[in-house]
Structure 1
Amino acid sequence: MSRSTGAGSQGAVSWAPLPPHARTDAAGHVGLGEDEAAERVLAGGLHWIEAQLEWFEPGRWEQFLPRRPFRPGPLLELLGLIRVLDRAGVLSKAAPLATDALDLAERVAADPSFDDGLRRADAYFPYHLNLIGLLELLGRPQPARRTVCEALLAADAGGHALPYKPALNRIELRYFADRGGFGAPPSLPRPGALLGESIAALGPDVLQLSESETYALTHVVFYATDFGHHSLTLGGHGTAARLREAVRVLLGVHLARGSLDLLAELLLCTAALDEGHGTTPLTHAGWNVLAGAARPDGALPSPVHRPEALAGLSGDKAAAYLFGTCYHTTTAAVLAAAVRRHRGQGRTGQSPVVGGVPPLPCADPVEIRAWAREVSASARTAPASVRAAWSDQLDPLLALCVQARDPSLLGALLRVADHLDRSDRPTPRRAAALLTAWTT
C-alpha cells in the first residue's frame, strides 16, 4: 500500500512503503569498499545460483509455481549470464554450472513444445531465437533449429521487425539475431538506427520515468553495449553524457527506494557506460546495499519476495518460492558484478571508501525533509566535497518528490537547489515548472 501524506491540487501525495534495506541507516552506513562489496555480491550470488540449477528446468518450476508464458525464461537468463561470466574470466564454459546448464538447455530445446512455440513466431519468438543462438555461442550448435530460425526471420514471421513495433522490441530482436549470427529481416534497421529511436537517445525525463520505462532504458543499454563489451555510440558526446547523467540520477532514485532489481540493472548500466570515472558515492552505496541485502545463502530478494510468506512454507514449496522470488534479482546482480569486472573495475585493488560524505536519504518524506533542512542551513559553509555530494543527491530526491506528487517537499528541495547554486540546472528547472503547474 502507499503512504499518503496529504493532497494537493495535483492529487494525493503518496510515498510507497520501504523495505528495511532501503532505510538510510542501512543504505548509508557503508563499511565495504566498492570492489569488496561487488565481489561479495558476485561470489554469494553465483554460489546460490549453482545450488538452484534444478529449478531452472521448466517442468520443475511448474510443479509449484505458475507456468511462464515463455517456459524456459529463467534458463535463458542463466545462459546469458554464463556467457558474460566466461567473457569476464569469472566462470569457464567448461565449469560444472555451465555444462549442466547447457545440458538442460539442450533438453529443453529438444522438447516438442519448444519447437511448436518457435514455429508459432508469436510474441516469444525472439526468446526462442535467443536460446538457440546462446546454445550455439556456448558450444552446443543446433543446426536444424537454426534453419527454422533463419526461415522465420527471413519471412518476418510474426511481424516483429515492422516499423510500428516498439523500438525496444526491435532492438532486442536485432541484438539476438546479430549476436547469434542469424540473418536479420531486411526490414529491420541496423542497430545504430534503432538506437536512435530508443528511450536512451530521446532524452528520458528522470523526473517522470515510470518503472517500466526505466527497465526499457536499462535493456537498451544492455543490448547496445552487448552487456558492457563495447562502448555505446549515441549521436555525439552531448547525447551520451545526458544518458550517463540519466542513469546516475535513476541509480539514486532506486537506491533510495531499495528497488534491488533496478538497482542491480542500473549498476550494470553504470559499469557499461563508464569512461574511467571510477567510484562515486552512489555506486559505492549501491554495491553496499546489494551486499547488505543479500540473504546468508547469497540470494537477493526481488520486489515480490515476502519473508513472512516464505516462513509459512517448508520443503520443496519453500525452495520453489525462494527461487521464484529471488532468481531474477540475484542473476541481475551477479551479471552487473561480472560486467564491472569485465570493464576493469573489479579486482584492481581496494577501491577507496567514500568517507566524510553524508548518505543519500531513503525515499521517506520525513528523512528527505530533514536532509533539506540540514542542507539549507549548512550549504554556504560546508566543505566543497560535502556540497558536491549534496548536489549529486539533489536530482534523485527531486525525482522522488515529483513521483510522489508532494508539492510541499518539492518546494523545500527547490530551495535547497538555490542554496547549492543549482537552480539553473535542467532537472531543478523542470521540477520548478512542474511545481508551478501543480499549484496554479
Structure 2
Amino acid sequence: MSTTPATPAPPSPPPAPSSSSDGPSWPPLPAHAATDDADAPPPDPEAAPDADAAPERVLAGALRWIDANLEWFRPRRWEEYLPPRPFRPGPLLELLGLLRVLDREGVLPRTAPLPGRALDLAAETAADPAFERSLRRGDAYFPYHLNLVMLLEHLGRPQPALRARCEALLAADAGGHLRPYKPVLNRLELRYFLDRGGLTAPPSLPTVEALLRESVAALGPDVLQLTESETYALTHAVFYATDFGRHRLDLGDGPRAGARLRETVRVLLAVHLARGNLDLLAELLLCTRALAKSPETSPAERTAWHTLARAARPDGAVPSPVHRPEVLATLTGDKAAAYLFGTCYHTTTAAALAAATLRHRPPDTLRPATGTPRPPRAEPAAILTWARRVAAEAATAPTTLRTAWRDQLAPLLTLAVQARDPHVLAELLTAAESLGATAHSPAREAAALLTAWTD
C-alpha cells in the first residue's frame, strides 16, 4: 500500500491516452463510474433508509469475498496464474494488517473462523524455508518480512526464531534501511513496524513523529500537481503516524498544519471521487476519518461511501483501477478467479480497512446531505457544464449553493491542471471569479499556471 520502491505497489491504471501529443490528457473513467448527474436533484435521505449503512455494506461484502477467496492469498496459488510479486506474500501481509484492525476495532476477533484460517495460512507461509531464505537476504523487502513476522506475533502466532533473525538483521542494518539518505516514507514505515511490533528501534532511526514532519503529509503539498504516487505516499504517512486512525496526528506546527493537511485530503478525496478511483478513494476515506476533529462529514465523504457501496460487485469485491469487466468476461474457471483476485484484492482490503475504522461513529453521520449539488465527474464536457452554470448563476445563488460550489472548485481545478487542459481551466477560473475565489489558493496558483502555459 505504499509508493516507495521497496513496497508492494498498489494497482495503477494504464497511461491515459492524450487527445494529441501535446494536448489535454483526460484519463478514461472506469466502467463503474456513474454518468454525470450534476444537474439531477440532490438525494433524499428518506428515500434510502439504509443510506448511513454504506460502510457496513462495504465491510460485510469485502469480508465475504475475502473468505471465499482466501486460497488466492497463498503465494504459490497466486503464482499459478499471476506474475510473481517481488515480495511474494504481499497480499497476505495486507490481509494480516486488516485482521489486526478488525480485531482492534471489535469487528472480527482473531479467534473467529476467517482470521483463524488466514493465520494458519500466514504461519504456513512463514514456515516455508523459502521465506527465511528471502528474509536472510536483508534486502529492500526486509521491512515487509519483519512486518509479517511481527503481525503474526501480535495476532497470537509468534515466530521466535524468525523474530530473532529480524532483530539480528536490524542490528546489522541489513539493507541500509536506517540510513538518513533513504526515502523518508521507507524509514517512517520501518519505524512504525518496529514500534507496533514492540521491537527496539536503533538510535539512528528517528521517531515516527520526527519522520512524519519530513514527509509529504507535513510539507504543504501542492494539491494541483500532486501525482498519484505522491498521493499514495501521503495516505501511507497518515496511516503510519496515526496507526490507521487510532492516534492523533502531530505535525509539530500548531493547528494550522493540521488544517492544511485536512484540506489537502478533502480536495484529493473529491478528485479521486470524480475519477472513480476506488483504490485511492478508500485510502483517502480512511485518512479523512483519521484526521477528523469531529464526527461531522463532508458531502464528498458521504458521496464517496455511497460510491464504494454501489461499485462493489455482488460478490463483495471492490474493483481496482486496473479491473476491466470486459476482460473478466472473456475468462472462465481459475483464470477468471485469478484475474478477479489480482485486480480487486488491494482495493477490497483498503475499503474494508476504511470501513472498520468507522465502527464506532455516531449514527446518521453518512446520510446524503439534502440540497447539495452533485459534483461533475472527471470529464471535460461535464466540468465545462458545471463551470458555465456557476458563472451564470453565482451572483443570484443562495449562500448554501455558493458554498457548495466553492468546495467543489478546488478539486475541479486540480483535475483541469493535471489534464493540462487550458480551455477547461480558463472556464473554471471564470467560475472562480464569479465566486470571488480568484485571490485564494488554489485558484491563484491555477491562474499562474494557465498564464505560463498560454503566454
**Which range, TM-score by smaller chain?**
over 0.9
**Cross-structure match for 1:412:** 427
Q: Equivalences for 1:19-418 in 2 at 5 Å?
A: 19-25=30-36, 32=48, 35-235=52-252, 236-341=254-359, 344-345=360-361, 348-349=363-364, 351-418=366-433
- What is the percent sequence identity of the aligned residues? 66
Structure 2, unaligned runs of 5 or more = 1-14
Aligned counterparts of 2:303 and 2:24: Cα–Cα separation in 1? 28
SS at match of 1:297: coil
Residues 142-172 of structure 1, C-alpha deviations (whole Å, 9 max, x = no match): 1111111111111111100100000100000
Is 1:439 equivalent to 2:450 in the alignment? no
Q: Deviations over 1:338-389 (max 9, x none)?
A: 1122xx326x246432111111100000000000011111112112221111
Cα shift at 1:182: 1.2
Equivalent in the alignment of 2:3? none
Contact 2:302/2:367 (CA < 8 Å) preserved in 1? no
Q: Residues 24 and 360 of structure 1 are in contact (CA less than 8 Å); yes or no, is this contact kept in structure 2?
A: no
When residues 388 and 225 of structure 1 are mapped into structure 2, their CA distance, relative to the original with a 3 A threshold, is same
- 2:439 — aligned with what? 424
Q: Kindly tell me: are residues 270 and 229 of structure 1, through their superposed partners in 2, closer, same or farther at Cα, counting changes over 3 Å? A: same
Q: AA paired with 1:101? A: A
Q: Match of 2:81, SS? A: coil
Partner Cα distance (2:23, 2:367) in 1? 42
Are the equivalent residues in 2 in contact too, given 1:154–1:183 (CA < 8 A)? Answer: no
Give secondary structure in 1 for the equivalent of 2:23: strand
Separation of aligned partners in 1, 2:229 and 2:405? 28
Q: 1:264 to 1:26 in 2, by over 3 A?
A: farther
Q: Determine helix, strand or coil for the equivalent of 2:25.
A: strand
Q: Within 2, Cα distance between the matches of 1:188 and 1:257?
A: 38
TM-score, normalised with respect to structure 2: 0.92
For 1:380 and 1:23, locate their aligned partners in 2 and report how far apart those are by CA, in whole Å. 30
TM-score (norm 1): 0.95
Asked whether the 8 Å contact 1:253–1:396 carries over to 2, the reply is yes
Q: 1:154 touches 1:184 (CA, 8 Å); kept in 2? A: no
Equivalent residues, number: 434
Task: Tell me: CA distance 1:419–1:324, structure 2 relative to 1, closer, same or farther (3 Å).
Answer: same
What letter matches 1:243 in structure 2? L
Separation in structure 1 between the aligned mates of residue 295 and residue 163 of structure 2, nearest angstrom: 42
Give the AA of the match of 1:181.
G
Distance 1:42 1:136, change over 3 A: same
CA gap of 1:63–1:138, structure 2 versus 1, over 3 A, is: same
Query: What is the RMSD of the two structures over their aligned residues, measured on CA atoms?
Result: 1.7
Contact conserved, 2:31 with 2:325, CA < 8 A, in 1? no
CA distance in structure 2 between the partners assigned to 1:2 and 1:305 by the alignment: 15
Cα distance in 1 between the residues matched to 2:99 and 2:430: 48
Give the AA of the match of 2:259: A
Asked if the contact 1:228/1:339 (under 8 Å) is kept, the reply is yes
Q: Distance in 2 between matches of 1:172 and 1:116?
A: 23
Q: 2:79 is aligned with what amino acid?
A: E
Residue 78 of structure 1 and its aligned partner are, at CA, apart by 0.5
Q: SS at the partner of 1:21?
A: coil
Name the CA distance, whole Å, in 2 between partners of 1:132 and 1:256: 39
> Within 2, Cα distance between the matches of 1:15 and 1:25?
15
Counterpart code for 1:430: E
Q: Quick check: 1:88–1:338 contact (8 Å CA) kept in 2?
A: yes
Match of 1:15 in 2: 26
Q: Say whether the 8 Å CA contact 2:31–2:324 is kept in structure 1.
A: no
AA paired with 1:395?
Answer: A
Cα separation, 1, equivalents of 2:364 and 2:318: 25
Aligned to 2:12: none
Listed as ranges, the gaps of 5+ residues in structure 1 are none
Q: Within 1, Cα distance between the matches of 2:379 and 2:117?
A: 45
Decide whether aligned partners of structure 1 residues 145 and 61 sit closer, same or farther in structure 2, where only a CA change above 3 A counts.
Answer: same
Partners of 2:122 and 2:436 lie apart in 1 by 56
Q: CA deviation at 1:2?
A: 3.7
Deviations 1:243-283 (A, max 9, x none): 00000000011000001100110011001111105121100
